[in-house]
Amino acid sequence: MGYMRLRRSIKIAPGIRLNVTKTGIGLSAGVRGARYSVHSSGRTTRTIGIPGTGVSYMSVSGRGHATASRSAQPRQIARPAPPVVVSGAQAAPFLPKAGLFASAAEKRFREGLVAYLTGNKAAAAVAFEAALAADPQALSAHLLTAISLEDDADMPRAIAHLEALVTAHATFPDKYLAKFLPPGRSSLEIGVKITELISARVPFDTTGATLLLAEAYQQSGRLEDAIGLIQQLHEANPTDPAIQLSLADLLFADGDYDGVVEVTAHAKNDNDLTVALIHMRAAALSALGHQTAAFDAFKEALAKTANRDEGLLATVRYDRALAYEQAGQKAKARADFEHLYGADPAYRDVRERLAALA
């Protein structure tokens, strides 16, 4: 349900990357799960990550500036290259130890992190639940348990954990995250699948948990509960595109097309999220019979193709072709279907639709 932040680097050999920044060059090497980086400043960086959560951990050692004498050359301050975030079983040893006098909750919490890192999500969920049993205030364990549960059969269990977290109004990070994934050395995000084509990075906190809970409600057939939840989130964050898209998608599924138009009214073509919002507006306007406005929205959604998801653009074009066909504009519908056929002859049913328009 989650993924990690990315950064730019140049791969020069298996397991080795050269990271170039304005302030220096860093060479990093490692295997999946742990990476060791050496910067031109002499500083070394060890970085680990937790797949599925957006969690990474970094430790830094060594000097942060050049060692040449002042008489030989001017003193220069060099900054370390940004860490390369990788993940896997070999990252587990880099986690801070629980400590000899650590509580049972702390030990189980760390066991959950290690289990997650090594790919044993079922064991991770059990360990996080054990941490909660030992200390109900280990609230971040609710979210970690939920993202550890992947089977459909576990959906009620995941929902229960997310509900407990959302209703508790938890403050992040709690003391458990602060100990094992301390701020300044960790990066936490959640990847939430908002629509079939669009996922978004959201904070590892109650906002992210609320979006996950709404998704779980929708998958469980509790559409009204999902809408009510996201409406409250939207009231508090009216300009957040991920929340806007989540609400628009839920309203569209409920047949509230006027609501979709209202939520998406101010979306601009800035990225995939906003393209999806504009597409949602076009579909809602088309469903309401406002074809001129719908075609304006379709045009805006397709106005920029650079750095846009190809699958998303293809879906927008396909839906516009259907709208053209429904409006009796067969030549324009054919042009869009031909465009899709040229890119991928097997895309959906474009071959059959072109034959029908011949």
Residue 67, CA distances (Å) to 19, 36, 40, 72, 285 in order: 21, 21, 11, 10, 65
Query: Is residue 163 over pLDDT 70?
Result: yes
What pLDDT shows up at residue 29?
41
CATH number at residue 138: 1.25.40
Contact (Cβ atoms closer than 8 angstroms) between residue 40 and residue 78: yes
Domain boundary among the residues 180, 199, 233 is at: 180
DSSP assignment letter at 93: G
Mean pLDDT of 246-267: 96
Within-domain flag for 314: yes
For residue 331, what is the DSSP state? H
Mean per-residue pLDDT for 342-357?
Answer: 96
**pLDDT tens sequence across 208-231:** 999 999 999 999 999 999 999 999
Asked, for residue 251, whether it belongs to a domain, the answer is no
Query: Does position 20 have pLDDT exceeding 50, yes or no?
Result: no
Q: Are residues 72 and 127 in the same domain?
A: no
Same domain, 83 and 110: no
The tens digit of pLDDT for each residue in 295-321 reads 999 999 999 999 999 999 999 999 999
- Digit-coded pLDDT (tens) for 125-160: 999 999 999 999 999 999 999 999 988 899 999 999
Verify that 275 and 336 share a domain, yes or no: yes
Percentage with pLDDT > 90 across the chain:
63
Cis peptide before 51 (omega within 30 of 0): no
The pLDDT > 70 percentage for the chain reads 74
> Is 98 contained in some domain?
no
Confidence of residue 190 (pLDDT cuts 50, 70, 90): confident
pLDDT number for residue 21: 38
Round the average pLDDT of the chain to a whole number and report it. Answer: 82
For residues 174 and 266, membership in a common domain is answered with no
Report pLDDT for 149. Answer: 94
**Residue 111 falls within a domain, yes or no?**
yes
pLDDT at 162 exceeding the cut of 70: yes
Q: What is the mean pLDDT of residues 92-107?
A: 89
**What are the distances in angstroms from CA 38 to CA 26, 29, 60, 62, 84?**
6, 9, 10, 10, 11
Is the pLDDT at 6 greater than 50? The verdict is no
334 in a structural domain = yes
pTM greater than 0.95: no
What is the span of the domain harbouring residue 110?
104-180
Q: Tell me the pLDDT tens digit for each residue of 56-70.
A: 445 545 544 444 444
Band (pLDDT 50/70/90 cuts) for residue 89 is low
189: pLDDT confidence band, cut at 50, 70 and 90? confident
How many domains does the chain divide into? 3
Do 38 and 124 fall into the same domain?
Answer: no
Strands 34-39 and 24-31: antiparallel
What average pLDDT does the segment 98-118 reach?
93
Same domain, 269 and 176: no
Q: Examine the fold and report which residue of 57, 91, 125 is the final residue of a domain before the chain moves on.
A: 91
What SS3 state is found at 50? Answer: strand
In a domain, 3, yes or no: no
Structure confidence by residue, pLDDT tens digits, 265-298: 999 999 999 999 999 999 999 999 999 999 999 9
Q: Give the pLDDT band of residue 25 (cuts 50, 70, 90).
A: very low
358 pLDDT band (50/70/90 cuts)?
A: confident
What band does 81 get if pLDDT is binned at 50, 70 and 90? low
Instruction: Return the residue matching tokens 């991928």.
Output: 344
On whether both 56 and 31 belong to a single domain, the answer is yes
Strand, helix or coil at 296?
helix
112, part of any domain: yes
Task: Compute the average pLDDT of residues 85-112.
Answer: 82
Q: Which of 41-55, 100-114, 308-322 has the lowest mean pLDDT?
A: 41-55
Cβ neighbours of residue 260 closer than 8 Å, sequence gap 6 or more: 248, 251, 252, 280, 281, 283, 284
User: 95-115 burial, b if ≥16 CB within 10 A, otherwise e?
Assistant: beebeeeeeebbbbbbbbbbb
Of 38, 56, 91, the position where a domain reaches its end is 91
Instruction: Please check whether residue 308 lies inside any domain of the structure.
Output: yes
Q: Three-class SS of residue 161?
A: helix
Residue 42 and residue 289: Cα distance in Å, rounded?
65
* 111 shares its domain with 167: yes
- Identify the residue whose tokens are 């980086």: 37
